[in-house]
Amino acid sequence: MKIGLYILGLFLTHTVFSAPQFHHSPPDFHGQFDLNTGHLCSTAKHTLAYLNKGTAYDPKVIHGGKVASIPLARVKATLEFICQHQNQMNDPEFIKQHFEFIRWFPDTSRAKRLAARKPVLSNLPNNQILMTKYYVHLADAKTQASATTPYALYGLPAEEGHLTVEQANVRPELIRFKYGKQAILHGSLQNQKVPVLAYLSRDDLESALLQGTVVTDFGHRLGKKTFNVHRNNNKEYDRTKKPYEQERFWYFKEVDGIKGYGKDAEYKITIYPKVTFAADLNQFGLGKVLMIQYPDKAGSKVSRIGIFADTGGAFDDNLYQVDYLVGSYPGKEAFYKAVRGVPDYVDAYFMVLKSK
């Protein structure tokens, strides 16, 4: 039985699209399938646990999708199947036998409206999605401000430590809602009851704010600590501004691993590199499984599989892009070296377990 899809937009001419499209279409099963199936299973398990908290817990993302709609029960069954058969998820014949595929054609109309000074959007093909890449930043940190680490990574203000996110969000007088990032960088939180988790350089702070997770190295005595975003100041991410110019600001919390989506820090999904995508979860829903394909330097097809288990401000009303978690690196140079050869545009297929 084919999945009932909520198809947006119309054909313009032949294969030229404007609004996003989703069509049943098989991928190329030749080439390289090289997955860490254990990490794929672990990410699937943590994502499934979040879905099982129920729609009432987080209706924004626990649904079958406002676009590319798939019944939530089938989303869960797909994640369960991946773990039950993780040792076979590198076998293209097995994948071909057990999954159906929905090709994703991007929302080029929306992308081109945002394309000023952004060549990756202005050059977006009509039959491929944009795949940006992100990493977990490794940063040198201090417990006190210094000439090289003058910027604070803040924890949640003490006044709302006892409040749930829902309770806090109806309290506009709270410290968290008073200040944008630029004011905070100029010291507006100093001498207030807001804990400092670490002191970082500006570049390291911006990487933490952008990526949502930072691994900090305090040196031999304190070692490394991982911090993940907790709550933000409810300021929208402005895609017309550069990251350093944004007003959105995140408060962080120490965690025990790389964390993806979660409406609050008390329960976020543990994710793993090379099997995780950040995407527009409000529209697609949490837990969709995506196969992406692209040619390597020799022209051979490379296939990767990941799970929609993360998101971010850049994915508000974004049906043309995913962000691929590639690993942990000490800076952009090491990161860029790691992703050299991985293209900006990829073929994309949602994978769904076939109905019996």
The confidence score (pLDDT) of residue 10 equals 33
Which pLDDT belongs to residue 99? 98
Check whether residue 274 and residue 206 sit in a common domain: no
Angle at CA of residue 326, ends 320 and 82, nearest 5° = 80
Give the residue from 228, 232, 229, 286 showing the smallest Cα distance to 257. 228
Q: Is residue 91 situated within a structural domain? A: yes
Tell me what pLDDT residue 17 has: 53
Q: Regarding beta strands 321-329 and 213-217, do their DSSP bridges make them parallel or antiparallel, or are they unpaired?
A: unpaired
Angle between helix axes 72-84 and 37-51 (nearest 10 degrees) is: 150
**Same domain, yes or no: 126 and 60:** yes
Strands 99-105 and 213-217: unpaired
Tell whether 331 is covered by a domain.
no
The answer to whether residues 160 and 247 belong to one domain is yes
Which of 255, 278, 307 is the last residue in one of the domains?
255
299 found inside a domain: yes
The verdict on residue 348 lying in a domain is: yes
User: Any idea what the CATH number is for the domain that residue 311 is in?
Assistant: 2.40.40
Last residue of a domain, one of 231, 255, 279: 255
Backbone angles phi, psi at 323, to 5 degrees: -120, 125
Q: Of 99, 66, 51, which Cα lies nearest the Cα of 289?
A: 99
Q: What does the alpha-carbon distance between residue 206 and residue 145 come to, in Å, rounded to a whole number?
A: 16
Classified as helix, coil or strand, 276 is: strand
Question: What is the domain-level CATH number for residue 172?
Answer: 2.40.240.50
- The alpha carbon of residue 20 and the mean position of all alpha carbons in its chain are separated, in whole angstroms, by 20
Residue 5 lies in a domain: no
Domain end position, chosen among 255, 279, 310: 255
pLDDT, one tens digit for every residue, the chain (356 residues) = 444 443 333 333 334 457 899 999 999 999 999 899 999 999 999 999 999 999 999 999 999 999 999 999 999 999 999 999 999 999 999 999 999 999 999 999 999 899 888 899 999 999 999 999 998 989 999 999 999 999 999 999 999 999 998 999 999 999 999 999 999 999 999 999 999 999 999 999 999 998 888 999 999 899 999 998 899 999 998 888 999 999 999 999 999 888 899 987 678 999 999 999 999 999 999 999 999 999 998 889 999 999 999 998 889 999 999 999 998 888 889 999 999 999 999 999 999 999 87
What total number of domains does the chain contain?
Answer: 2
Domain-embedded: residue 31: yes
Q: Are residues 243 and 178 in the same domain?
A: yes
Angstrom distance (rounded) from CA 260 to CA 2 = 30
Cα–Cα separations (whole angstroms), residue 123 to 10, 13, 74, 100, 129: 21, 18, 35, 29, 11
Task: Indicate the pairing of strand 32-33 with strand 276-278.
Answer: unpaired
Looking at the fold, whether 151 and 244 belong to one and the same domain comes out as yes
Q: Contact, 142 vs 222, CB < 8 A?
A: no
Within-domain flag for 193: yes
Same domain, 227 and 291: no
277, 305 contact by CB (below 8 A): no
Q: How far is CA 121 from CA 11, 129, 239, 291, 320, in A?
A: 20, 10, 12, 21, 9
For 3, 10, 99, 316, the CA distances from 51, given in Å and listed in that order, are: 20, 32, 21, 21
- Among 344, 339, 315, CA closest to 123: 344
Residue 175 and residue 118 share a domain: no
Phi, psi of 46 (to 5 degrees): -65, -35
User: What is the domain range of residue 202?
Assistant: 137-255
Gap between the Cα atoms of 313 and 303, Å rounded: 27
Q: Of 101, 104, 79, which is closest to residue 89 (Cα–Cα)? A: 79
Judgement on whether residues 30 and 107 belong to the same structural domain of the protein: yes
Query: At a CB cut-off of 8 Å and minimum separation 6, what does 113 contact?
Result: none
**Whether the Cβ atoms of residue 37 and residue 87 lie closer than 8 Å to each other:** yes
Q: Both 276 and 349 in a single domain?
A: yes
Please indicate, yes or no, whether residues 103 and 157 belong to a single structural domain of this protein. no
The DSSP secondary-structure symbol of 166 reads: H
- Secondary structure class of 319 (helix, strand, coil): coil
